[in-house]
Structure 1
Amino acid sequence: MRVPLSWLAEYVELVPGTTPEDVHAALVRVGLEEEDVHTFELSGPIVVGEVLEFVEEPQSNGKTIRWCQVRVAPDGETAADGGDAVHGIVCGARNFYVGDKVVVTLPGAVLPGPFPIAARKTYGHVSDGMIASARELGLGDDHEGILRLSTLGIDAPVGSDAIALLGLNDAAVEINVTPDRGYAFSIRGVAREYAHATGARFRDPVEQTAPVDASGDGFSVEIRDDAPIRGRVGSAVFATRIVRDVDPARPTPAWMVARLKLAGIRSLSLLVDITNYVMLELGQPIHGYDLDLLRGGIVVRRATPGEKLVTLDGKERTLDVEDLVVTDDRGPIGLGGVMGGSETEIGDSTRNVLIEAANWDPVSIARTARRHKLPSEAAKRYERGVDPEIAATAVSRVAQLMVDLAGGTADVGGSLIHEAPARTAILLPDGYVSGLIGIEYRDEEVHDALAEIGGVVTRVDGGFEVVPPSWRPDLTGRAELAEEVARLAGYHRIPSVLPVAPPGRGLTRSQRIRRRVADTLAAAGSTEVLSFPFVTEAENATYGSADGAPVASVRLANALDANTALLRRSLLPGLVAAAKRNRSRGLVDVSIFELGSVFLPEVDRTYGTTELPVGDARPSDAVLETLQAGIPPQPRHVGVLIVGDVVTKQPGQAAVTAGIVDALDAVRRIALAVGAEIEVVQGAHQALHPGRTAELRVAGRPVGYAGELLPTLAEESDLPRVVAVAELDLDAVIGLTDPGLEAGRIGTYPAATQDLSLMVAIDVPAAAVAAAVRDGAGELLEHLELVDDYRGQGVPVGAKSLTFALRFRAEDRTLTAAEASEAKLAGAAVAAECAGAAIRD
């Protein structure tokens, strides 16, 4: 929210000499975040000038310029730049006439850019200044011609300071408005907060305008909401007022243009500018209809399936049944609380205006704005909550300005529907604020703070009964009231105390292991990433199920993007998206990993709870158990993706492209970090390449997969055909690993090494043969490693030769060759029995 200081000063007393920095400092004390300071970034001398005469001079480049004589000071006086009263100025614009009052930037002035002005020779003349356009002054985007003061309704003496005349000496402070402080999206709200911070007297603009009188025959309005969301009607307040015989061609006053510009809103036309001005002033969005284009009365309702509306931005929108619409006899004419329709738009031919101010349900407006991707200024305020008591005042304020500035005549009466629910009193027990905040507050301080924010505070037995003000929908409980007391009394009173960690605690075993896994992968050259947990239905169906069986997913009730409205069942979609994004930016060799939760609800089971506990006290164990039971399983996984070259091409070294071997290497590093024994067996996953997929097991239980991404999936994400990936259920791996497992003793006696070549059927997994040899060889076998897988000449068709390197060692003696051979043959015998293996000659 941008707040011009001159506007702020109308409703709260600013000490002379108050700077934007002073205002920021005061607002920070009451919890509003400082953002920036905005000015017009110009300096004088910039004065009012009168065009005395000009000569049009065609140029060789086809352009015609005007050599102008402009009076910039009264007769007999020196100009503001120290020069003569009449200046010769070259101007390329042709939209002014002799006798026009214009804005002249004299030598020494600086315009936004910065663009310094100096006397310079051009087109055969010395131009002693410049006649400025609105855009050059920073007042708007109009650069078709120079700014004629008559178009702004200004007739000031020649030589007057144009900076002050046009309000260009003003400045605006910008603050960040958090979602719970929607009232601060108005000059009214910020002025009140400044008064809280400084003690300055606040003048409520709502009290300076009489609300609309609904006793007369007002415009017909009806609210029909047959499908309220969460039991709340879409609009409980609707006020209208009619102003007739306005002149839409009248210019917007310079002071209003300047304030709107500083507030971040572009001046469009007088009638539209007035509605925007009142919205910024009071925080109540306003919409104006061309009364002569309306057909019949107004009905507020939910949209019907298939209804369409062309909004003010010229786009046709298909409406949803949850959308609130304003309709007349022809159908929708506005998207309630978000944007009006083009059919009843105020334009150059408008003579009679229907002014509307309503109060819309925040949830409905937020959903509609996101559904149609329309983050309008009105929606931004409605979704945070607008004061339901000011609609009638707001339409009267707009009518007053249209009468004063556009020459209209306001109807005596109007229409008003006001069915907003009464505000509920909150009981604030004695001592509660002090107990929650941690410092002592007197009863008088509590009472005065809550009364100062606009609450109705009544003393009752054991505490205070507080009715929050209508503009503070965020005050729903006693904890929020306590926060207001702390805020107004001053956060500086709350001491900064560093809590002492209780002894005997620290990271849990799972936390230590997860950190060790992350450190291990990072040390191996991978980069940790953090991706959004939101995915599409197709991604969950593809990556979240190994065999393609239907899966259940957690669907977000209020998704940021309707296309990614599910919580992930796998980390791989996020890793694939991260790899795609990095490769699109030229990083072709990527090794990334992520540790994060996945969400695995069970099919045909409903999760959730109907009642959430109050947040001002720790819930009981029974409540926590109920909440926990309503949460689907959320195990922590670790995912790895490697694409590109793991060894880059260099002299004497060919490039080595990542593949399943690298995915399995990452798995081995994870196993080492956890202290787990991970078994690798042939597997299958619908998202991974057939034949290049490994199932990962711990203690016989599947805990994940490793392999290469299916080439078609890789191609869809603009990745190479070979993408190595791995994903493990890290919680399961940790849980299946013996926490008391110790490293084996290092043998001191010499080892005996032998090789064993076995022929087996080609479809027998090497891991199964290795397991059989390990079981048969017994305790003397210290290490076994597959070193060759041969299929070719000398091996029968349909068979393969597997060669294992074996290392034997005894703890108490030096092994003989016979003992090692005996153990090897025992392993081969078990392999023959279990896997049909035969020793290769």
Structure 2
Amino acid sequence: MQFPESWLREFCNPPLSSEQLADTLTMAGLEVEERRPAAPPFSGVVVARIEHLEPHPQAERLRVCQVDVGGGERLQIVCGAPNARAGMVVPCARVGAVLPPGPSGEALHIGLGQLRGVASHGMLCSAQELGIADDASGLLELPADAPLGQDVRTCLQLDDQIFTLKLTPNLAHCLSVYGVARELAALTGAPLHTPAWPRVAPTQTEVLPVQVLAPDLCGRFSGRIVRGINAGAATPAWMVQRLARCGQRSVSALVDISNYVMFEFGRPSHIFDLAHIEGGLQVRWGCAGETLQLLNGQTVSVDETVGVIADAQALESLAGIMGGAATAVSDATRDVYLEAAFWWPKAIAGRSRRYHFSTDAGHRFERGVDPATTVEHLERITELILQICGGQPGPIDDQSLNLPQPQPVALRVARAAKVIGMPLTLEQCAQALRRLGLQVHEGQGSLSVTPPSYRFDLQIEADLIEEVARLIGYEHLPHTPPLAPVTALAQPERRRGPYALRRQLAQLGYQETINFSFVQERWERDWAGNAQPIALLNPIASQMSVMRSSLLGSLLAVLKFNTERKAERVRVFELGRVFRHDAAVPDGPTSVAGVAQPLRVAALAWGDALPLQWGEGARSVDFHDLKGDLQALLAPRQARFEPAEHPALHPGRCAQVWLDGQAIGYIGELHPRWRQSEGWQQAPVLFELELEPLLQRELVQAQPVHRHQPVQRDLAVVLPERVAHAELLATVRGADRTGWLTDVRLFDIYRPKPDRLLGHNAGAGGLVEGEQSWALRLTLERDDANLTDAQIDAVVQSVLAALSAQLHARLRA
């Protein structure tokens, strides 16, 4: 909602500065989002009249003007504006004037100039050069009666402040200058100037027949015919200026009048060209298959849920939203039909979004417009039309069919005091509400309030409590410290917080992302294998219709966003909730029956394994890079990785992560099918784990320095290719009964090429197809004594025996 301060002060003019006025509105809930002057700073520009002009002797497009700047002084100014003419009143920047910054960003200083050999004592200005409009096609024409020599800022009220309010949906009664003034009067106690709305006497008796067939769409319909108007009349400069300062450009006199009354009193209206109405009008719901070409050129189809105004031939308007092109007024219009109606908010809400546009009328009607003033506002529109365009008005046809009946709302003073947090009396509450113009009936410790017709938002007790708090002033509420004891909760040493986990992932080179918990249904079906996700009843967008049961889709969407913008290396993670059906979950303060909401952490890596550098060649990140990061995240705890399958991951490059005997998630490379569908040349690698197990940690315990040297033995064993690394290490550690085996490391894997298998080359170490050679380093250590060769050999032989018996391994020749 945008309007000039001067217009607001015509209705209510409290003794406050512009800054104080903005603060008062903001503290009352009418947030002043912006306050700016109507024009940027400039000086030295006065009102002048062109007395005479003649062609420039050296330039075809320039003319030499003799300009009267008041006080009998005339200046010679060279001008190239195409609309310059004798007798025209224009802004004149005298020598020494400073104009607003131009495209270069620097202010323009006007000096004595020479244009093609002719002296120029100033500059005649366009609206763009003064910074008040974008029009640079010619000089800005001022009113013919403007005083010569007067400062242009005073003449055009350019020091006026433009207020922009950011209104919440419950403040529909403030979507007009008069509505804001009404609130300002209640807040400050300044008098409110209420217009009289004088009746316009009809000069002819014609009435257009109108049938309202849908009372649930239109509760009141008022209209009148005005004949013999001059639709081509110019809109007065004062109206054009006010509309411009409300952010509305001038279109034509009739359209400008309708818009002006909407900004003035919040009443959207429509003016039909009477010559194009066949028969009478019907106000009804649409029928399937009907179409309408709107004023914006768009042709829309309606159905039984969209309100329309139709004549005997076709649809003429979308009810409460936008008129049709067929009955639009033009300069050739001579007879018009004026309409002002009350449309039920529920009948208008959401219809504009269905057709992918919005209008000022729809914005107001879907929030609620006063049904009690249709006739008064119609009189105001008629008054302005007669002043500007002339004409002969007919009588007003006013039909009231189904008006909202205000229901009394009770306010308990004790409840208001508890919610607001300060002691209140019955008198204080009643006085605050009466200042708003509400009908208040006092009872024993409570009030009964009947909302006026323009307050659609006052429906429950909490609404009245809010009004009391606003009128008392939020800045006057007491600062009451909390009385509850604050006790710090002891954090177990064996548990770390989620922020520590975030910091560790950031130290590993990952950036945190925060994504919506509602996602596309396709993500759940394809990437989570969830055929029945939790659906939203009212999604904010069609592509966000279900709750996620996995974080992988969100990370892949982040990767897609970055790769589309030519990112070469992506490392991201997210810590958030997922949602899935679980009948075992009860209803409670922090839970919803049948819905599990566990926390998970997921990470994604894509691109080069290392940033661009000289020390190591470029290579793509792979499964083992991400596995290393995950092991660093879990250290010193050791996870176990077992081959597994996941809907989003590569079937041969996916593992299930086990920690302390519990499966906590998956790690792997994205499935080739999804990689190709997203257009990635390289597959990202991902993991997703339950958060709770990761928050547990082992305490560091001091260990004495060993007094005896460790012993290392290397073994090369031939194993079937199906044997997993975790299985091999578990077998080796399980074979030691002495406790001297402190570490086992795999340091080499040998897989011969097909032409070097047994039977082709005897140097292959005796390997046959389906076998591989693994080299292990065993570290043995004893605390109380040095190990002897016999003891070492005994441990090695027990390891070999276990490998042979359990994994069918043999020592490589």
Settle same-fold status: TM greater than 0.5: yes
Distance apart, 1:177 and its partner CA: 1.8
Give deviations 1:538-576, integer Å, cap 9, x for gaps: 22322222xxx62324235141x3333333333233323
Query: Does the Cα contact within 8 Å between 2:51 and 2:66 map onto a contact in 1?
Result: yes
2 CA distance for matches of 1:782 and 1:500? Answer: 57
User: Is structure 2 residue 60 aligned with structure 1 residue 56?
Assistant: no
User: What residue is the counterpart of 1:615 in the other structure?
Assistant: none
User: What residue is the counterpart of 1:610 in the other structure?
Assistant: none
One-letter amino acid of the counterpart of residue 368, structure 1: R
User: What residue is the counterpart of 1:443 in the other structure?
Assistant: 426
User: What residue is the counterpart of 2:336 in the other structure?
Assistant: 353
Distance apart, 1:715 and its partner CA: 5.7
2 CA distance for matches of 1:107 and 1:257? Answer: 30
User: What residue is the counterpart of 1:398 in the other structure?
Assistant: 381
User: Is structure 2 residue 90 aligned with structure 1 residue 91?
Assistant: no
Query: Does the Cα contact within 8 Å between 1:556 and 1:566 map onto a contact in 2?
Result: no
User: Is structure 2 residue 83 aligned with structure 1 residue 71?
Assistant: no
Query: Does the Cα contact within 8 Å between 1:219 and 1:415 map onto a contact in 2?
Result: no
User: Is structure 2 residue 185 aligned with structure 1 residue 195?
Assistant: yes
User: What residue is the counterpart of 1:557 in the other structure?
Assistant: 538
1:409-808 to 2 correspondences below 5 Å: 409-499=392-482, 502-506=485-489, 512-545=496-529, 550-559=531-540, 561-585=541-565, 587-601=567-581, 625=588, 628-630=591-593, 632-672=595-635, 678-698=639-659, 702-711=663-672, 713-714=674-675, 717=678, 719-731=680-692, 733=693, 746=703, 749=706, 751-777=710-736, 780=739, 781-792=741-752, 793=756, 794=764, 795-808=767-780
CA 1:121–1:417: 2 relative to 1, 3 Å: farther
Q: SS where residue 9 of structure 1 aligns?
A: helix
One-letter amino acid of the counterpart of residue 630, structure 2: V
User: What residue is the counterpart of 1:24 in the other structure?
Assistant: 22
1:99-498 to 2 correspondences below 5 Å: 99-113=87-101, 115-138=108-131, 140-149=133-142, 154-156=144-146, 158-159=148-149, 162-205=152-195, 208=197, 217=207, 219-224=209-214, 233=216, 235-301=218-284, 308-317=291-300, 322-360=305-343, 362=345, 365-498=348-481
User: What residue is the counterpart of 1:228 in the other structure?
Assistant: none
2 CA distance for matches of 1:126 and 1:819? Answer: 113
User: What residue is the counterpart of 2:10 in the other structure?
Assistant: 10
2 CA distance for matches of 1:631 and 1:456? Answer: 47
1 CA distance for matches of 2:609 and 2:400? Answer: 70
Distance apart, 1:7 and its partner CA: 0.5
CA 1:190–1:293: 2 relative to 1, 3 Å: same
Query: Does the Cα contact within 8 Å between 1:212 and 1:393 map onto a contact in 2?
Result: no
* Range that drifts further, 756-765 or 417-426: 756-765
* Range that drifts further, 361-370 or 759-768: 361-370
* Range that drifts further, 512-521 or 584-593: 584-593
Give deviations 1:486-535, integer Å, cap 9, x for gaps: 22112233222443663444487899532221121012221112123343
Give deviations 1:219-278, integer Å, cap 9, x for gaps: 5142548xxxxxxx5554444344333322222222222222222222222222222222
Tell me the TM-score normalised to structure 1 length. 0.83
2 CA distance for matches of 1:345 and 1:507? Answer: 73
1 CA distance for matches of 2:33 and 2:460? Answer: 30
Distance apart, 1:12 and its partner CA: 0.6
CA 1:535–1:297: 2 relative to 1, 3 Å: farther
CA 1:686–1:202: 2 relative to 1, 3 Å: same
Query: Does the Cα contact within 8 Å between 2:533 and 2:546 map onto a contact in 1?
Result: no
Q: SS where residue 516 of structure 1 aligns?
A: helix
Give deviations 1:124-147, integer Å, cap 9, x for gaps: 322333333344455544433334
Query: Does the Cα contact within 8 Å between 2:221 and 2:342 map onto a contact in 1?
Result: yes
Distance apart, 1:11 and its partner CA: 0.9
1 CA distance for matches of 2:714 and 2:366? Answer: 74
Distance apart, 1:458 and its partner CA: 0.9
CA 1:517–1:156: 2 relative to 1, 3 Å: closer
CA 1:181–1:13: 2 relative to 1, 3 Å: same
**Aligned-residue RMSD, C-alpha:** 3.8
Query: Does the Cα contact within 8 Å between 2:208 and 2:280 map onto a contact in 1?
Result: no
1 CA distance for matches of 2:374 and 2:470? Answer: 29
Query: Does the Cα contact within 8 Å between 1:590 and 1:643 map onto a contact in 2?
Result: yes
Give deviations 1:176-228, integer Å, cap 9, x for gaps: 223332333221222123223322112345x6466999x99555142548xxx
2 CA distance for matches of 1:631 and 1:310? Answer: 49
Query: Does the Cα contact within 8 Å between 1:392 and 1:416 map onto a contact in 2?
Result: no
CA 1:259–1:14: 2 relative to 1, 3 Å: farther
One-letter amino acid of the counterpart of residue 529, structure 1: T
Q: SS where residue 595 of structure 2 aligns?
A: coil
Query: Does the Cα contact within 8 Å between 2:521 and 2:546 map onto a contact in 1?
Result: yes
CA 1:805–1:514: 2 relative to 1, 3 Å: farther
1 CA distance for matches of 2:560 and 2:614? Answer: 29
One-letter amino acid of the counterpart of residue 257, structure 1: V
* Range that drifts further, 679-688 or 810-819: 810-819
CA 1:791–1:650: 2 relative to 1, 3 Å: same
Unmatched tracts of structure 2, length 5 or more:
102-106, 757-763
Distance apart, 1:755 and its partner CA: 4.4
2 CA distance for matches of 1:587 and 1:29? Answer: 45
One-letter amino acid of the counterpart of residue 601, structure 2: V
Unmatched tracts of structure 1, length 5 or more:
79-83, 226-232, 608-621
CA 1:813–1:438: 2 relative to 1, 3 Å: farther
Give deviations 1:106-158, integer Å, cap 9, x for gaps: 34444444555444222332233333334445554443333445xx7x54454
Tell me the TM-score normalised to structure 2 length. 0.86
CA 1:626–1:41: 2 relative to 1, 3 Å: closer
Is the radius of gyration larger for structure 1 or structure 2? 2
Distance apart, 1:742 and its partner CA: 5.3
2 CA distance for matches of 1:569 and 1:719? Answer: 24
One-letter amino acid of the counterpart of residue 9, structure 2: A
Distance apart, 1:600 and its partner CA: 2.4
Distance apart, 1:366 and its partner CA: 5.0
1 CA distance for matches of 2:213 and 2:153? Answer: 48
CA 1:779–1:527: 2 relative to 1, 3 Å: farther
Q: SS where residue 11 of structure 2 aligns?
A: coil
User: Is structure 2 residue 43 aligned with structure 1 residue 41?
Assistant: no
Q: SS where residue 229 of structure 2 aligns?
A: coil
2 CA distance for matches of 1:507 and 1:348? Answer: 79
Q: SS where residue 326 of structure 2 aligns?
A: helix
One-letter amino acid of the counterpart of residue 99, structure 1: G
Query: Does the Cα contact within 8 Å between 1:212 and 1:413 map onto a contact in 2?
Result: no
- Give the count of matched residue pairs: 789
CA 1:47–1:393: 2 relative to 1, 3 Å: same
Query: Does the Cα contact within 8 Å between 2:609 and 2:622 map onto a contact in 1?
Result: no
Distance apart, 1:449 and its partner CA: 0.6
Give deviations 1:566-613, integer Å, cap 9, x for gaps: 3333323332333344445554222121111223247xx9x9xxxxxx
2 CA distance for matches of 1:135 and 1:421? Answer: 48
